[in-house]
Structure 1
Amino acid sequence: MTQTEASSASSAAQPPVPSTGPDGSGQGTVRGRSVVPGVVYAPVTWVTERPELPEPTETVPEDRRDSEFEAFTAAVDTVADRLAARSHNVDGHARQVLEATVAIARDRAWARKVKKSVAAGQTAVYAVRQATEDFIVMFRKAGGVMAERVTDLADVRDRVIAELRGEPEPGIPQVDSPHVLLADDLAPADTATLDPDLIVAVVTEKGGATSHTAIIARQLDIPCVVATGPALQTVTEGTAVVVDGGEGTVETGVDPEEARSRVDAAARFSEKVRSWTGPAQTSDGQRVQLLANVQDGVTAEQAAASVAEGIGLFRTELCFLSETSEPSVDQQAERYAEVFRAFPEGKVVVRTLDAGSDKPVPFVNAEDEDNPALGVRGLRIARGNTQLLERQLDGISRGLELSGRTSSTAQTWVMAPMVATVYEAKWFAQLCHERGLTAGAMIEVPAAALMAEKIMSYLDFVSIGTNDLTQYTMAADRLSSSLAYLTDPWQPAVLHLVHTTCRAGSVTRTAVGVCGEAAADPLLACVLTGLGVNSLSAATPALAAVGAQLGEVDFVTCRNMAAAALNAEGAEEARTAAAAVIGR
């Protein structure tokens, strides 16, 4: 096998990566956060360096300031037109990313800031830097998803500055054979135009599981690891590496024959994934419902065309992120009905607005908070605006009528995010039951897991959101690259809370599902099944890999894997112990 030979397992799950020490490194191995599984062996290439940011070195004379701003507008037009042309050659999320980047480049507020600086005597190049920095500070302060858009802003800045200087456009280097792409943080516009025949894996120092890089890597179905930290800098240009997207590792110095064996094994499992059609169950027949996470009618239709048995998480807030005013009950009903129609007979779980923190919804009008992740978000918003929640529940009821989901087999469940107390569960359940809706709650606050048995006495089901449960259990921002070793659902403390919730569900006969990132990890799915989880809901591309893995083990093995993980001292040890049970 040559250094340029590469192969990948093509399932698009998004499992978490074993944690490690704060420096994120090991001998011959760099660890990060896994996004897309698969194993490849190929030489690396680094993204072309970004242009050095300018310092103010001169004052532009007044008679040249108009032409200086004209140079800026011409550079913006060139960059925007180039990106727009690329958008016509791709589809799906990649096209949306490029179109969004074009919109950033043509943003009028940004242009006004540049014009003001140029009018004051700054060069166009320096004015671009300063205007962008103002927006970057604003986005970082907003946090969450907005903070992740900083990469988009910096990318547009760098492209325009390069154009103004007459320099080559920064971005992905040209290669004529398969390579692993390494970057500090890959720009969305670059990710959107990756050629999966040449770029067979992506690894970045920064980034998160919800970044554009991660989303497009899933769409392209190429192994992806993010949040490695500075340890990635130890891997030099041209070095042959093994990237294991499932483990979240980049290994140097691997024997080529060993690398071939690992790539081949991953390819064999990938073939099983491609041929798996369901239903999800262990080898001895223990059923686990396999559901999809969706955000609108389009993604619901995609799920319906897959192996998904239904929808385990309908993120309603993502329907309304661009709305400046609250949609009417009828408007909401129309959007919900689009999702319901995709599964006329299957199960659909609707989550009420999870606005706030990293998902700002304009019409909610939440106040600025010093720590929004611990502030007024999810169900807490309804404490000060009960009518907002009631209108949404009315919209869900009406949406059911519009969709025609009248069959007794067509279960429609509604759950509240960020439930923390028994009172909140009782209150939400009453509002649902008044409308004939099946009531549930997200278990994503440790207090809810610890009080699960009492909370469940008022509810019909619960779903564990492992992303936030991990964040709050480990006191670590789940969007922080530097804390990725903590925000790992393999953390035994998190698994113990999942176990506590499942035991409560067994006592109260309440269904317990998982709809966080953990449900997309095939190995962790076996552990969750062993802990007593009844259903797993993940991104649609991840489902077949989960189902295929479950089919290779029996229920006793799942329980043994769960026991091994619970008894571990850390996340990496938990994953290793669970894998050892099945000889991996």
Structure 2
Amino acid sequence: MSTLSGVAVSPGRARGPVARVAEAAGEPPRAPAPADRDAEAARIAPAAEAVAARLDALAAAAHGEAADILLTTAAMAKDPALAGEAERLVTAEGVPAPRAVFDAAAGFSRSLTAAGGYLAERVRDIQDVRDRIVAELLGVAPPGVPQLSTPSVLVARDLAPADTAGLDPATVLALVTEQGGPTSHTAILARALGIPAVVAVRGLLDLGAEALLVDGDAGTVEPADPRAPVVTASRRAAEWNGTGATADGHRVAILGNIGSVADARAAVSAGAHGAGLFRTEFCYLDAPAEPSVDEQRAAYAAVLEPFAGTPVVVRTLDAGADKPLPFLAPEPEPNPALGVRGLRVAYDRPEVLDRQLDAIAAAAADTGAVVSVMAPMVATAAEAAWFAERARAAGIGRAGVMIEVPAAALAAREILEVTDFVSVGTNDLAQYTFAADRQLGAVAALNDPGQPALLRLIALVGEAARAAGKPAGVCGEAAADPRLARVLVGLGMTSLSMNAAAIAPVGAALTATTLAECEAAARLALAGG
């Protein structure tokens, strides 16, 4: 029996019986045509409402990132555009309701895939909603995680975000998928829940083992004796004294990634020294028109309030062709991931950026949070200088940029001459460095943040920051890995920002390590060791 390898995305080891996640039944038939098209079409909206209601109920019982994901999926189920297109297919073409929902969702999925970036990442959500509505119409059980009577290793082709959000660490020993990548919802929530996980394991579903031993540190999966005792997952929970420093006193700020009030409260409760990434897109994504300065001010203040007196880095609007907002009226692009997104949007609509900066400055004054701002998708020092000038004109004293494209890493010295700090977004930096879609399981190994080529770019940023005497942090998922956190500190990173569940484990890992040991780990990682 062979050992399979994948991408390790959440540490720990566990052994136990296999529980397979049920997959969707497949494409519903196109025939027979309904005798009463209007009555058949009328079945669709109630089915979608029933699915949304169940997802809302799951969200009410969840919290933090899991609740946010469930609410987002429920909102997709409620979307009248999906139901409306399916109803049209029934009445106009005589397609049975289940098939109509399937075809309507396929059209939406194609559009999202073509858009790329953030919207392409939502295709799995649309497919999940589709499968749930189809199951409701057919009167069968929906695909997803089975009820677990005993602790088990969960095995799946892939997991929908809603399924992942509902996992119970008390019964899920480990999580293994054949698809997925290190920045997928599956990976992020597995880390947040402390469940060992390995993704992108080719051949997993053909393995046929009754029990598995999963190593979330090495990224391996191997058959186990089903008669062997269950080994409960080893958790990353660690004793942390709350200080942001290595064992020999080298200071490292341990920060939280936030995008909602719930995230902010969770980060503070976990002991974060502040927030290294406040995503502001939540204020825009569902808005038919640009929110007013007062609306933005109130929304930002609610998230900043738990951080009174502590530092928060607010990322300005990360939108564009890959996250189209109606009021921005983006032009169609052949390759949105390489098009007008992030700060590039502000060149055509600087007034949108200026209003957001005004709202951020006002929210900071309202709450007492020590606010800095940073711009996404910056490629040159000229872009960085343009942003910093506008931020300071709005009364915001500290301005920085995200290092998300290789050009910015290579120009880090020049960028730091015109900004106060930089922050490395490892998720996008890996994607652009390796030309590998971070949601595509087939290339998941390339998006592993431990890849030497990626680390060498981060090392350039660290060297530039040391030379300038300015801070450089990491706010991608790489910062949430205690082992990789040591490497990042050794590369010169002065802050690490992560989800709330990773704060104590990362903090504890650093307090048990000297700076010299971090630097040695960095040298080894750069060499591919």
Quick check: TM above 0.5? yes
Query: How far, CA to CA, are the matches of 2:56 and 2:381 in structure 1?
Result: 51
- How far is 1:181 from its partner? 1.2
- How far is 1:71 from its partner? 4.7
Query: How far, CA to CA, are the matches of 2:111 and 2:391 in structure 1?
Result: 38
Query: 2:453 corresponds to which residue?
Result: 493
Q: 2:405 matched to 1:445?
A: yes
Query: How far, CA to CA, are the matches of 1:541 and 1:469 in structure 2?
Result: 23
Distance 1:28 1:469, change over 3 A: same
Query: 2:392 corresponds to which residue?
Result: 433
- 2:220 corresponds to which of 249, 271, 278: 249
Query: 1:473 corresponds to which residue?
Result: 433
Question: SS state of the match for residue 243, structure 2?
Answer: coil
Distance 1:219 1:68, change over 3 A: same
Letter in 1 for 2:242: G
Question: SS state of the match for residue 363, structure 2?
Answer: helix
> Do the aligned residues in 1 keep the contact of 2:474 with 2:493 (CA within 8 Å)?
yes
Query: 2:442 corresponds to which residue?
Result: 482
> Do the aligned residues in 2 keep the contact of 1:336 with 1:399 (CA within 8 Å)?
yes
Query: 2:85 corresponds to which residue?
Result: 113
- 2:175 corresponds to which of 173, 184, 202: 202
Question: SS state of the match for residue 401, structure 2?
Answer: strand
How many residues align structurally?
527
Query: How far, CA to CA, are the matches of 2:78 and 2:261 in structure 1?
Result: 30
Query: How far, CA to CA, are the matches of 1:545 and 1:473 in structure 2?
Result: 28
Question: SS state of the match for residue 446, structure 2?
Answer: coil
- 1:135 corresponds to which of 86, 90, 108: 108
- How far is 1:329 from its partner? 2.3
> Do the aligned residues in 1 keep the contact of 2:116 with 2:335 (CA within 8 Å)?
no
- How far is 1:309 from its partner? 0.6
Q: Identity rate of aligned residues, in percent?
A: 46
Query: How far, CA to CA, are the matches of 2:465 and 2:326 in structure 1?
Result: 36
Query: How far, CA to CA, are the matches of 2:484 and 2:192 in structure 1?
Result: 22
Distance 1:203 1:360, change over 3 A: farther
Please identify, of 38-47 and 80-89, the stretch whose mean Cα deviation from structure 2 is larger: 80-89
Query: 1:13 corresponds to which residue?
Result: none
CA shift digits 1:462-510 (9 cap, x unpaired): 1112122222222222222221111122111111111111111222212
Query: How far, CA to CA, are the matches of 1:71 and 1:390 in structure 2?
Result: 47
Query: 1:541 corresponds to which residue?
Result: 501
> Do the aligned residues in 2 keep the contact of 1:224 with 1:245 (CA within 8 Å)?
yes
CA shift digits 1:22-70 (9 cap, x unpaired): xxxx951231351x33321112121123213133343444xx3344334
- How far is 1:392 from its partner? 1.9
Query: 1:65 corresponds to which residue?
Result: 37
Query: 1:559 corresponds to which residue?
Result: 519
Alignment of structure 1 residues 73-84 onto 2, 5 Å: 75-76=47-48, 78-84=50-56
Q: 2:160 matched to 1:187?
A: yes
Letter in 2 for 1:186: L
Distance 1:66 1:501, change over 3 A: closer
Alignment of structure 1 residues 217-236 onto 2, 5 Å: 217-228=190-201, 230-236=202-208
Query: How far, CA to CA, are the matches of 1:337 and 1:286 in structure 2?
Result: 32
Question: SS state of the match for residue 185, structure 1?
Answer: coil
- How far is 1:129 from its partner? 2.4
CA shift digits 1:168-204 (9 cap, x unpaired): 4333234321111111122344334433322222222
Distance 1:88 1:38, change over 3 A: same
Q: 2:274 matched to 1:300?
A: no
Q: 2:482 matched to 1:515?
A: no
> Do the aligned residues in 1 keep the contact of 2:404 with 2:425 (CA within 8 Å)?
yes
Query: 1:387 corresponds to which residue?
Result: 351
Gaps of 5+ in 1: 1-25, 569-576, 578-584
Question: SS state of the match for residue 55, structure 1?
Answer: coil
- 2:313 corresponds to which of 337, 343, 349: 349
Letter in 1 for 2:485: A
Query: 1:421 corresponds to which residue?
Result: 380
> Do the aligned residues in 1 keep the contact of 2:117 with 2:336 (CA within 8 Å)?
no
- 1:148 corresponds to which of 104, 116, 121: 121
- How far is 1:149 from its partner? 2.8
Alignment of structure 1 residues 24-63 onto 2, 5 Å: 27-34=2-9, 36-61=10-35
Question: SS state of the match for residue 463, structure 1?
Answer: strand
Query: How far, CA to CA, are the matches of 1:252 and 1:357 in structure 2?
Result: 45
Query: How far, CA to CA, are the matches of 1:533 and 1:244 in structure 2?
Result: 28
Distance 1:167 1:418, change over 3 A: closer
> Do the aligned residues in 1 keep the contact of 2:271 with 2:503 (CA within 8 Å)?
yes
Q: 2:488 matched to 1:528?
A: yes
Distance 1:233 1:403, change over 3 A: same
Query: How far, CA to CA, are the matches of 1:162 and 1:377 in structure 2?
Result: 37
Letter in 2 for 1:419: V
Letter in 2 for 1:385: R
Q: 2:161 matched to 1:175?
A: no
- 1:460 corresponds to which of 420, 434, 439: 420
Query: 1:23 corresponds to which residue?
Result: none
Question: SS state of the match for residue 447, structure 2?
Answer: coil
Distance 1:361 1:303, change over 3 A: farther
Distance 1:257 1:552, change over 3 A: farther
Query: How far, CA to CA, are the matches of 2:401 and 2:133 in structure 1?
Result: 47
Query: How far, CA to CA, are the matches of 2:217 and 2:520 in structure 1?
Result: 21
Letter in 2 for 1:429: A
- How far is 1:310 from its partner? 0.9
Query: How far, CA to CA, are the matches of 2:64 and 2:265 in structure 1?
Result: 14
Question: SS state of the match for residue 324, structure 1?
Answer: coil
- How far is 1:396 from its partner? 2.1
- 1:320 corresponds to which of 284, 292, 297: 284
Question: SS state of the match for residue 339, structure 1?
Answer: helix
Query: How far, CA to CA, are the matches of 1:315 and 1:416 in structure 2?
Result: 11
- How far is 1:352 from its partner? 1.6
> Do the aligned residues in 2 keep the contact of 1:29 with 1:252 (CA within 8 Å)?
no
Query: How far, CA to CA, are the matches of 1:195 and 1:469 in structure 2?
Result: 32
Gaps of 5+ in 2: none
Query: How far, CA to CA, are the matches of 1:501 and 1:323 in structure 2?
Result: 36
Distance 1:458 1:320, change over 3 A: same
CA shift digits 1:65-97 (9 cap, x unpaired): 344334545644554555555555444444444
Letter in 2 for 1:45: A
> Do the aligned residues in 2 keep the contact of 1:467 with 1:517 (CA within 8 Å)?
yes
- How far is 1:100 from its partner? 4.2
CA shift digits 1:350-393 (9 cap, x unpaired): 22222135544443332222222211111111111222222222
Distance 1:536 1:192, change over 3 A: closer
Letter in 2 for 1:224: A
- How far is 1:130 from its partner? 1.9
Please report the TM-score for the alignment, with normalisation by the length of structure 1.
0.82
Query: How far, CA to CA, are the matches of 1:426 and 1:165 in structure 2?
Result: 58
CA RMSD in angstroms, aligned pairs only: 2.8
Please identify, of 519-528 and 361-370, the stretch whose mean Cα deviation from structure 2 is larger: 361-370
> Do the aligned residues in 2 keep the contact of 1:40 with 1:242 (CA within 8 Å)?
yes
Larger radius of gyration: 1
> Do the aligned residues in 1 keep the contact of 2:304 with 2:367 (CA within 8 Å)?
yes
Query: How far, CA to CA, are the matches of 2:361 and 2:49 in structure 1?
Result: 47
